[in-house]
Every structure is written in structure tokens, then in C-alpha cells.
Amino acid sequence: MKTIIFVAVEDQAIDRFELGEQAVVADLLALLETRGVEIAELVIFKEDHDEPLEPHHPLHGHDHPIFHAHRCRKVETKIHYKTETFEHHFAPSATIATITTWAVQRAGLGKEEAEEHVLQIHGSRVQPPPNAHLGAFVTHGCAVAFDLVRKKLVQG
């Protein structure tokens, strides 16, 4: 029986991978290398987990088999909200939803107001989807900045 997992490599889209039944992280890295990915500093994270997985960690048996491969172990994340800037280090596998939850709590927004806010790439109008991985937006070094903005509400 095959092990089927989904992996995003740095800023690439999530891709489906089929590995052997007893596949471990080292097997995934070897497969990525055959596909032309430079794996020298690459580490594998389970989605929304803070620490990278060890090479011998099994890839089978996960209820939510989504992983992220990245060279950064932590991403310096800045959130700009009004006149304040909040900073935190997240794993590159953190989802935008997780970071948004942290940001609205840090900003002290109530539940209703929090639901009206989203993250937007700093200095742009790009609002990443909630299930996107933070590592996909790292551009310089291991850092990224967002603005916490009010959602565009449709009046009608």
C-alpha cells in the first residue's frame, strides 16, 4: 500500500506524492532531489507544526498528511496593524489562518471584529488564502511582513 502525502516546497504549490508504505522523511527528501530540488538545507515540517521532522520520522499514518519543505526553520513575521507592529517567529509550515488568529489576538480585536480582518502582504493588495503556508511568501532571507486589514465587505 502506498503512502500518499501532500507537500509544498518553499514557494511552490502543494503537490501530491506517492511513497512506499513505510516511507520516512529521508525518503521524501530523496524523491525531491530526483525532481531537481536542492535538498542540502531543506527541512520538512508537518502543516502548522513548529519543529521540523527528523529524517527517520514516518510519513504514513497521519490524519492530515500535509507537509512543507523549506530552508528556513523559523520565519521572522511582522504584522502591521494601524500604528503598531507585532513580531513573531513562526515555522514556514504555519498556515495563514494560524497567523491571522495570532495577529487578531495580539491586536486585541474582539471575536466579531477579528472575523472582519485578514492578512495582506505588506505594501500590496495580495491577501493569501487561509490554508496557504507562510513559507510560500518568504522573499528575502527568512522574513515576511503582512498588514492586518479589514476584509472587503460586499454591501447589497
Domains of the chain are: 3-70 (3.10.20.90), 75-150 (3.10.20.90)
CA distance 129 to 96: 7
φ/ψ bin of 153: left (φ > 0), alpha (ψ from -120 to 50), beta (otherwise): beta
Q: What is the mean pLDDT of each run of 10 residues along the chain (156 residues)?
A: 92 93 95 94 96 95 90 97 97 97 96 94 95 92 95 68
C-alpha torsion angle, residues 58, 60, 64, 65 (rounded to 10): 80
Nearest to 17 by CA among 74, 75, 62, 54: 62
Q: Taking the model in full, what pTM does it have?
A: 0.91
